Amino acid sequence: MTFGKVHWMPLLVGLIVVVGLPLVGRWARWHSRSGCAFDGGKIDPSYRVAVVDARGNSHDFCCIRCAQCWLRRQPAPLSAITVTDEASGEMIAAATAWYVRSTVVTMPMTQNRVHVFRNKADAETNAAGHGGRLLSEAELPFREGIGSPLPRDGSPTP
Ligand SMILES: [Zn+2]
């Protein structure tokens, strides 16, 4: 019977598109998230840096150093930079974070030694334990990308 052949083919193609496209999309997103946008290195979720450009596209980086190198090549203003709080693993706005430069390298490839914390207490504990120190406002990463720092947790209230 030809009935089945004629009418099932478009249905089958439709089914493949409906089921297949989201899978392809998911794979593409996973694939684009799997490497650093600057050097292609593997991204450890504990140190991930994410930058949303002026067009709304998100770019992930393995460390602060890669994000800084990439940002220097960006002519347009950026809409958001988020960094990972090492204590909780959560993403936070770069302008609200405390940064510690210590002897501990987060990414052997780039020799990045800047660590990120949401709370000043966590940053101070990390610095004390690893021969590091908190970065001053003049040394903060992404100053050009995010402007002046926002009030941070642990900052003295004016
Ligand atoms: Zn990288």
Q: Which secondary structure element, helix H or strand E, spans residue 145, and what is its range?
A: helix 143-146
- How far apart, in whole angstroms, are the C-alpha atoms of residue 24 and residue 28? 6
What is the mean predicted confidence (pLDDT) over 100-117? 95
Look up the pTM and report it.
0.72
Å from CA of 83 to ligand 1 middle? 13
pLDDT at position 28 is 58
Reduce the DSSP state of residue 154 to 3 states and report it: coil
Q: Find out whether 140 and 104 touch, Cβ atoms under 8 Å.
A: no
Å from CA of 39 to ligand 1 middle? 5
- How far apart, in whole angstroms, are the C-alpha atoms of residue 20 and residue 23? 5
What is the mean predicted confidence (pLDDT) over 53-66? 92
Cβ-in-10-Å burial (0-12, 13-18, 19+) of 87 comes to middle
Flag whether pLDDT at 158 surpasses 60: no
Å from CA of 45 to ligand 1 middle? 12
Q: Which two tokens stand for residue 2?
A: 């030809």
Identity of the residue numbered 134: L
- Over the stretch 2-35, which tens digit does the pLDDT of each residue have? 555 667 777 777 777 777 766 666 665 555 557 9
